[in-house]
A and B are shown apart, each in its own frame.
Chain A
Amino acid sequence: MTSILEKVDVFAGLPSESLLELEALAIRRHYAKGVPVFYEGEPVEHLLVLIEGRLKLFHSNDSGREYVYGVAEPGLSFGGIGLLTDEVRTVCAEAEDDCVFLSIARSNFLDFVATHPQIKDALLAGSIRLIKHLTKTVSDLALNDVYGRIRRVFEMLAVNTPEGDLIEGQITQQDLADRVGASREMIAKVMKELVAGGYVETGRRRILILKKLPERF
């Protein structure tokens, strides 16, 4: 018998028996699409393991503007480092689809870390990946213009198909604006130019990249 936790970033390589025991202590939680899962600044009380659905990670300001910095897929966990260092959540999260989590309470997780100290190496590796991603994102925001950022988001989301690089799923101009940290109007302008230039083709729930996007706008 194997535990679902074996496929999770921080638990990779740990013995099945221990993971099954930990899984038995976890509580399954369902979040409907659009429901907030945690807020920036909130104390971390649980390790949340995403096992189904996608989770939107974002920042927002007082006037309701959002900046979406990523959408997480199943197999990722949230709050491990926060529990270890007694920190608060550094971003907000909302269910992008209907989501299922395994929720592991603080004391259960900390007991597990005490008996399996090797998990700290996985947590270290995870925070390094996060730091590198954040460094790229902040440099991108500071040094690239809106067009350059759109290009990078397209490169991140596109999947290679025989037709060309394809971005599938419902992505509105507002979604793109929230992803690159710009206004919807600015995105509309850039997209219009890209379509006119024959670089991209937009359709229902899809954006097809026809040829390599230009370096500069």
Chain B
Amino acid sequence: MLEILKTIPLLQGFPDEQLEYILATGLKRTMPKGSFVFREGDPAESMYVLIDGRARCFASDNQGKEFVFMVVEPGDAIGEISLIDNEPRGWSCQCEEDSVFLMFSKQEFREALDREPHVKELVIQNLAAMVRHLSTTMKNLALLDVYGRVRALFESMLVTEDGVEMVSQPLTQQAIADRVGSSREMIARILKELVFGGYIRLENKRIIILQKLPERF
């Protein structure tokens, strides 16, 4: 467990004794795929650090349409905002895979925040990263068309495996639509054209990039 914590970017440079303290204080919680870590409007009692798995943060309208504005990866902290401003959860967070979290109670978190100056530094860095991420998301939504946003999403998730460029996670058309703020039908059309044009190939739910995606659709 200690070795896992050491791989977390947020905790780099923490001495062993502090990591041990974190392990001793945090409660290990395993949540199956599909379960909610918290829901928009819930009162907040704890914050979480994702150790394994993946979760998504999203807002939804009253017709059930969702917009995923952030994906939580191992090492990311979530839920600390409501513990600082004492407001209900501002959005929902749901596990996309079976996930393991370290959970900290409101009291533990507040005490650590007041007592340990570097905890405050970490929280500030984490929030600054969120501001940056949301600002870019906002810019893309306002100034790019749907194709531009799909392209930006693919480029932000690009990995190379065995010399092949691909999008790092399998994504359904609905998942893409929820992340770029569009409809499944629109995404289906764009993917079809990209396959037809020889830009991408779909293989076992993975999106393989064959050549650089065009600037414009």
Contacts and interface: CB of A to CB of B under 8 A. Distances in A.
Interface of A: 59-61, 65, 67, 69, 81-82, 84-85, 87, 90-91, 117, 120, 123-125, 127-128, 130-132, 134-135, 137-139, 141-144, 181
Contacts of B60: 143
Interface of B: 59-61, 65, 67, 69, 81, 84-85, 90-91, 117, 120, 123-125, 127-128, 130-132, 134-139, 141-144, 180-181
Ranked 7 nearest A-B pairs via Cβ: A142-B181, A181-B142, A67-B142, A142-B67, A139-B59, A134-B134, A141-B141
Contact of B135 (A90, A120, A125): A90
A127 B143 CA distance: 24
A67 B60 CA distance: 23
A81 B127 CA distance: 9
Given A124-B84, A143-B65, A135 B132 contact: no
B65 to A, nearest CB: 6
A128 B143 contact: no
A96 B146 CA distance: 30
Given A67-B142, A90-B131, A128-B84, A138 B69 contact: yes
A130 B123 CA distance: 15
Nearest to B149: A142
A81 B124 contact: yes
Contact of B142 (A59, A82, A84): A59
A205 to B, nearest CB: 26
Contact of A87 (B67, B69, B132, B141): B132
A128 B67 contact: no
B138 A124 contact: no
Contacts of A134: 131, 134-135, 137-138
Given A84-B124, A132-B90, A138-B69, A59 B143 contact: yes
Contacts of A144: 61
A28 B209 CA distance: 52
A164 B124 CA distance: 42
A90 B137 CA distance: 11
B138 A59 contact: yes
Nearest to A117: B117
Nearest to B144: A61
A60 B140 CA distance: 10
A79 to B, nearest CB: 11
Nearest to A148: B61
Contact of B127 (A60, A127, A137): A127
Contacts of B132: 87, 90
B67 to A, nearest CB: 4
Contact of B139 (A67, A87, A125, A135): A67
Nearest to B91: A135
B181 A143 contact: yes
A123 B124 contact: yes
A125 B61 contact: no
A82 B131 CA distance: 10
Most buried by A among B84, B134, B136, B138: B138
Contacts of B69: 135, 138-139, 142
Contact of B124 (A59, A120, A135, A141): A120
A127 B126 CA distance: 10
Contacts of B123: 124
B143 A65 contact: yes
Contacts of A132: 81, 90
A84 B125 CA distance: 9
Given A128-B81, A135-B90, A143-B67, 17 more contacts: A60-B143, A67-B138, A85-B125, A117-B117, A120-B120, A124-B120, A124-B127, A127-B124, A128-B85, A130-B131, A131-B127, A131-B130, A131-B134, A138-B134, A141-B181, A143-B60, A181-B141
